[in-house]
Structures are given as C-alpha cells and as structure tokens.
Amino acid sequence: MEGLQNKKNQIMGIGFMIVLMIAVISYILKDESVDSILQVISSANSNFIILSISMMIFYNLCEGINIWITMKALKIKASFINCLGYGFVGFYFSSITPSASGGQPAQAYFMKRDGITFTSSSLSLMILLFAHQLVIIVLGIIAFFIKPDVSLTYQTGFNILLFYGFISNAIILIGILMFIFSPKLVFKILNTVGILLYKVKLIKNREKLHKRIDRSIKEYEAGARYMRNNPIPILCVTIVTIFQILSLFIIPYFIYIGFGLGKYSMWEILLTQAILNIAVSSLPLPGSVGASESVFLDMFKGLFGDLIIPGMLLTRIANFYFALIFSGIISLIMYVKKVR
C-alpha cells in the first residue's frame, strides 16, 4: 500500500517494540517485588490515572483539530471526524516506527483515500510539524534555564543525549521554515546533495532525481505562498499545539499527585518532562521505548522518591501504551470503514 507501511513491516515494528518493552521492564523489575509494585499502583487515586489517560486522548484530538484548521485554511473539504481520526493514525504509526518516521506518510495515505491531494496533506502536516517542533524547543529551552539543576545533575551521557535532542529538533524546525519560506533554496541544497550522491554512486539516475525534487518543490511552493500570506491559520495551529504539548507533559504530574505526593509544583514536573522529551524524542526507537523509561527513572527519581518505579509505569501506560492501543483501534476502524 503506497504511503502506508505494509502488514509485514507493521508486525515487525510492533514485535520489535514489544520485545524491547519486555526486556526493559524485566530489567527494571529484576530486583524489585512485583507484588509490592502492583500493590502501590493499585493504591493510587484512580481519578488521576483516568485524568492522565484523558490528557493523552486530548493530545491526539488536538492533532486532528489542527489538521482540520489547515484543511479549512487551504479550502479543502475535509470531515471534522475524519480529521480527528487522522490525528490518531499519526500517533499509532509514529509509535511503531523508528524516530516516528511512519506517522505523516500514514496520515497522507489516509487523506489521499478521502480525496485530499498529496500536496495539500503534505503542506498541512508540514505546518503541524513546524508548530510542534517550535513549541517543543521553546518549552525545552524554558525548562533548561528555569530548572537548570535537572540538566546539570546528570552524567556526561545524559548531557550528550540532551544536546543531540536539541540539535535534531532544531534542524527539523529550520528545515521546515526553509521549505515554507524559501523552497528555491531548498531545491538548490537538495540538488547539490543529489549531485554528491551521484558522484559517490549512491544514486544512478541524477536527472530523474532532479526532476522529482523540482516537481515536489513546485507543489509545495504554491501552498507555502498561500500560508505566508495567511498567517492566522499557523497562529491558530500553534496555539492549539501549545495546549496539545502541555497536555502530554502534565501527565507525570497527575500520576504524582495520584500517589498523594505534593512537594513539587506542577510546573517543576511539567518542565522536567519537557527536558526528558527533548532528550529521547530523536532516538531511532519505536515510541522511544527503553530510552523513555530509563531516562524517566533517572530524572524523576528525586521527585517520586521510593515511588519512582510505579510512577514510571503508570506514566508510560498513560502517555504511550494505552494511547498506542487506542489509536491502533481507531486506525483499524478508519481503514476497515473505508475499505467497506
């Protein structure tokens, strides 16, 4: 299926993630009493656990709302319900692919089936990615300066990981800005890269690549020109994205107070999660499985104390595992419904 992972790749991605998850959890729990941890988890306030899960559903709904906003701005007829569905599709396929690389192609595939051109879907998703990267980087910088003790108390390995995360996210943001505001410059850069790849014989047909890049840039340029002249949709998307990212970052806080803890404020925990997200988001792991759990145990240990392992497990269930299952169900419903 063009634009969508085939079933074999999906199964391999899910299988790899499950194996990695089991390995990580087994390693974390190897010296712990599982019964004691389950007892602690069961003692947590269920209302806050439900609220945490609700935040993750809200996160995906915001993605769909942003798609709907951009479709309206581009004067594309798109069902609001379908747009919400695209949000869950993006999360599911991002979660089962390394570096979240499968999310946007899958969304574009579902949009194409609903009559939305690839040019429109690509521009829409580019704007969403721009707003997402912008908010993530700004919150990460704020967290780094407001709560520097979080980043300075870790060993060199974590600092390298954090630096890599900032650089990776910044490069993506700069690349998107160039696509929107200077597509001709992007064409020159990509064409130069194509020539270099041809010289080292990594590609065989330079002219074919040149024409493909030229065609893609021209497709983006018309839509990007419209968005440059109509900044309101981008502003609206950015505002929604702020609430979207905050709903994700606040999940550890609800788990925290669900255990009856209250020493640290909401913003301290939220900004700590912002730094964690920067550190692990660019790693080539499906759903950042393994890295998220390990870094959480390190960064949040001083906040959760003896409840760090139950806190990590509940946080990951809320902000990833439950959301993965739920978004997978929505994706399947959308696919089956369209096939029928």
Residue numbers in the chain where pLDDT is lower than 50: 1-3, 150-153
Nearest to 334 by CA among 7, 65, 111, 85: 85
The span from the CA of 121 to the CA of 107, in Å, is 8
Which run of H or of E encompasses 327?
helix 322-339
C-alpha 148: how far from chain center? 24
Structure tokens at 72: 């309206």
DSSP E strands, 183-268:
none
Sign of the dihedral through C-alpha 311, 165, 122, 16: negative
**CB within 8 A of 158, min separation 6: which ones?**
151, 279, 295, 298
Q: What per-residue confidence (pLDDT) applies to 254?
A: 97
The burial of 66, by beta-carbon neighbours within 10 Å (0-12 exposed, 13-18 middle, 19 or more buried), is given as buried
Q: What per-residue confidence (pLDDT) applies to 64?
A: 97
Residue position matching structure tokens 């690839």: 118
The burial of 127, by beta-carbon neighbours within 10 Å (0-12 exposed, 13-18 middle, 19 or more buried), is given as buried
| DSSP codes joined into one string, 103-151 | HHHHHHHHHHHTT--HHHHHHHHHHHHHHHHHHHHHHHHHHHHHSHHHH
* Spatial contact of 108 and 3, defined as CB atoms under 8 Å apart: yes
Q: What per-residue confidence (pLDDT) applies to 222?
A: 66
Summarised one tens digit per residue, pLDDT across range 240-297 is 999 999 999 999 999 999 999 988 889 989 999 998 898 888 777 777 787 888 889 8
Q: Which amino acid is at 224?
A: A
3-state secondary structure of 340: coil
Nearest to 52 by CA among 291, 332, 322: 322
